[in-house]
Amino acid sequence: MRTIKIFEIYIILCYNYCIDAYLYLTTKERRRLLGIFTKIIERFRRKSAAIFVDFEHWCYSLENLFGMHPEVTAFFESISRKYKIKRVYFFGDFTSPILRNEVNRIREYTNNIIDTQNPSNRNKKDHTDFIMLDYIYRDVEEKDKAGTYIIFSGDGHFTSVVAYLKNKKKKKVVVYGIANSTSNRLRSVADECVILPSQDQETQYYKQIVLQSIYRSISKYDDKHYTTFKKTVEIVSQYNKVDPNLVTKAMNDMFEQGILIKKEVKLGKASKIKVIEVNWQAAMDNGLWELEKAV
């Protein structure tokens, strides 16, 4: 009893000290302190989540539709802000180079990489889906309980398991999928659906491949090569197999940001052409380029 009493007195003293200290803070300091406490409370309130990723869907759909590669780090950072991640599984035929190239990045977050290679070469995609479905059903029955199930797939095969998790197991289910490659039925049955890439991610990607293309030209021709707007759009779209209209839009944005600069250059005695140059410092300031690559 005496120990409890002393503890109560200690709590009261700490509380009174905090109140007194709070009164001496400026409005700006109070807001900052409240912001810190809010983040701490949100962290404790985060629900636990189990994540199951159909990495074939993520890689192939993103590559074929957008010419992009998975942003594994951004995916985990986004989820960890809302959920306490209990376990993560990645599924796919990792003998494929496009998947294998991402293994080291995945291992930064989990070692649960399930290789679904099908020796028969028949119904290879279905084989991955069925293995992933089996893991999800067994997880909800056998593993430590997770309040939320995050399923990254666009395949309609997962509609039934999403309905089962929601209706029978009373779980929140979040579906991640790639734009123009995710079943409408699957989207409609989930509690929440996140479609990738986001507009910001897509725009950022196109800006980066424009810079990479210009940098390759500079490296190859020792900074004595001029490139025009039209030629850059053509080279970038063909090299990366992406829509030239999207490249054009990204480049126009970069002109507005001061990353790309139009310049008139005289060739020979009379002719002049309009070329583009890069403000590499502006590119770095906007997170589009790394310091060691700057020209």
Per-residue pLDDT of 94-153, as tens digits, reads 999 999 999 999 999 999 999 998 776 665 668 899 999 999 999 999 988 899 999 999
Distance CA 131, CA 118 (A): 11
More confident residue, 23 or 266: 266
Supply the pLDDT for residue 199: 87
Confidence bin at 227 (pLDDT 50/70/90):
confident
How high is the pLDDT of residue 41? Answer: 47
pLDDT band at 272 (very low <50, low <70, confident <90, very high): confident
pLDDT of residue 67: 84
Q: Is the pLDDT of residue 284 over 60?
A: yes
> For helices 199-221 and 244-257, what crossing angle results, to 10°?
80
Q: What pLDDT, on the 0 to 100 scale, is given for residue 286?
A: 92
Residue 51, beta-bridge partner list: 88, 150
Judged against a pLDDT cut of 70, whether residue 295 lies above it is answered with no
**How far is the first Cα of the chain from the last one, in angstroms, to the nearest whole number?**
72
42 or 160, greater pLDDT: 160
